[in-house]
Amino acid sequence: MKSSPKLNIAIIGTGNIGTDLLVKTMRSKYLTCTLFAGRNFNSPGMKRANDLGVTISDRGIEAIVSDPAICDLVFDCTSAHAHVEHWAILQKLGKTVIDMTPAKLGELCVPAINAVECLATGARNINMITCGGQASIPIANALSQVHGDIEYIEVASSIASRSAGPATRYNLDEYIETTQAALQKLSGARRTKAILILNPANPPIDMQTTIYAKIAEPDMAAINASVLAMVEKIKAYVPGYQLIVPPTQDGGKVITTVKVLGAGDYLPQYAGNLDIINCAAIAMAELIAQTDSYREPQA
């Protein structure tokens, strides 16, 4: 592991997620944004990047193709469909990619659970799953540490409609499929289900995610200890992550709820759904920046 020099990163996609990531990288000790690329110079994100003195482009991924040396790592903040095309290009260029879309092409990653494993495999495409996945999978994993054979886990995330941009709405099917797949992989549950609710309430609601698990004869004391330990691990990189309903036994189910408040870097605090996935992505990028093998050219 190393702490310097900073890793050069590019951001493709200049919407809410991309712009919030940009603001977060500006205060990172390990990352520096050398390119912010989208399609519209007049977008709010482009204007913010320009004000911050970051190199901008309206050529999208072509800005990297024309100057591959501009970055070492790419955050893809576009859409699941676009990422398929982008990865084919970036893989040939030898770039490491953190995929912010639910494309499910790369290594499914929740930093608190499998960051070390992702780095150990040398994964060059790291998928941050979904906002609901980043909120719920750590709790599901904590349950599985106590009970290794969970029959069924269901997660329901409710987010402010205002915090769901065009890409999120366009990728709803991929959101469900990727969240369910990651839940199953990282919890070991036999069956999983994911639900996303876009709440139009005004004022906007904070992100909340409820986890339901069907567990035979749950050890509630051990479950509570495991969940509390996991919450502390998440709070290390997502300060706004809160356990608001501790694990409770209700019939044959264990139920618990978490809330995520955003840091307010670029987006309102209620957009905790975007903040948690961005915080997870920054945590992974900073680990990559400190890992020697990721700075070596790919064969």
- Point out the residues that are catalytic: 131
Contacts 24+ apart (CB under 8 A), 227-231: 227/139, 227/142, 227/143, 227/256, 229/142, 230/112, 230/138, 230/139, 230/141, 230/142, 231/138, 231/258
Query: How far apart (Å, rounded) are the C-alpha atoms in residues 242 and 237?
Result: 12
Query: How far apart (Å, rounded) are the C-alpha atoms in residues 268 and 288?
Result: 28
Strands (E), 38-129: 56-57, 73-76, 96-99, 107-108, 125-127
Strand partners, 196: 157
Query: How far apart (Å, rounded) are the C-alpha atoms in residues 270 and 261?
Result: 6
